[in-house]
Amino acid sequence: MRPRLVFVHGVGGPRDATAELAAWTDALASGMRKAGHCDVAAALSDGTVDRAFVHYGDLFRPAQAQGGAVEIQDDASAEILLELLDEMLAGLSDPLPEAPTAEQDRYRAKILAHARAQTAPRPQEQGAMAAVRRALDVATTVLSAPLFRGLGQWAAPKLMVRDLGQVARYLARRESDGTGRALDVGIRGRVARELALGATVLVAHSLGTVVSWETLHERPSPVRLLVTLGSPLGMRTVVWPRLVPRPPCTPEQVGAWLNFFDPDDPVAVRPRLEDDFGPNSARIRPESRRVDSVGLWVHPAVLYLAQPGVAGPVAEALRTALAGER
Q: How many residues does the chain have?
A: 326
Q: Does domain 4-59+179-325 have CATH number 3.40.50.1820?
A: yes
**Phi (first) and psi of residue 245, to 5 degrees:** -90, 175
- Of 228 and 267, more confident: 228
- Residues 209 and 192: their CA atoms lie apart, in Å, by 13
- Residue 94, classified by CB atoms within 10 Å of its CB into exposed (0-12), middle (13-18) or buried (19+), is exposed
Secondary structure of residue 207 in the 3-state scheme: helix
* pLDDT above 70 for 22: yes
- In this prediction, residues 106-119 reach a mean pLDDT of 81
Edge-first strand order for the sheet with 223-229 is 50-54, 4-8, 199-205, 223-229, 257-261, 286-290
Decide if 91 contacts 107 (C-beta within 8 A): no
* pLDDT above 80 for 271: yes
- Of 57 and 105, more confident: 57
* In the chain, alpha helices (H): 17-34, 38-45, 75-91, 102-117, 128-143, 157-172, 183-196, 207-218, 301-305, 308-325
- Of 178 and 244, more confident: 244
Nearest to 58 by CA among 218, 182, 178: 178
* pLDDT above 60 for 167: yes
Quick one: pLDDT at residue 66?
44
Quick one: pLDDT at residue 245?
96
Percentage with pLDDT > 90 across the chain: 58
Quick one: pLDDT at residue 67?
44
Decide if 273 contacts 286 (C-beta within 8 A): yes
Quick one: pLDDT at residue 64?
42
For the chain, the helix, strand and coil percentages under 3-state DSSP, each to the nearest 5: 50, 10, 40
Fill in the amino acid letter for 83.
Answer: E
- Of 80 and 295, more confident: 80
CA dihedral of residues 128, 129, 131, 132 (deg, nearest 10): 120
Q: What is the mean pLDDT of the chain?
A: 88
Fill in the amino acid letter for 169.
Answer: R
- In this prediction, residues 163-192 reach a mean pLDDT of 90
Q: Look at 13-17, 160-164, 166-170, 202-206 and tell me which has the smallest mean pLDDT.
A: 13-17
Quick one: pLDDT at residue 54?
96
Who contacts 217 (Cβ-Cβ below 8 Å, separation ≥6)? 244, 245, 251, 252
Q: pTM, whole model, 2 decimals?
A: 0.91
- Of 65 and 266, more confident: 266
Beta bridge partners of 53: 7
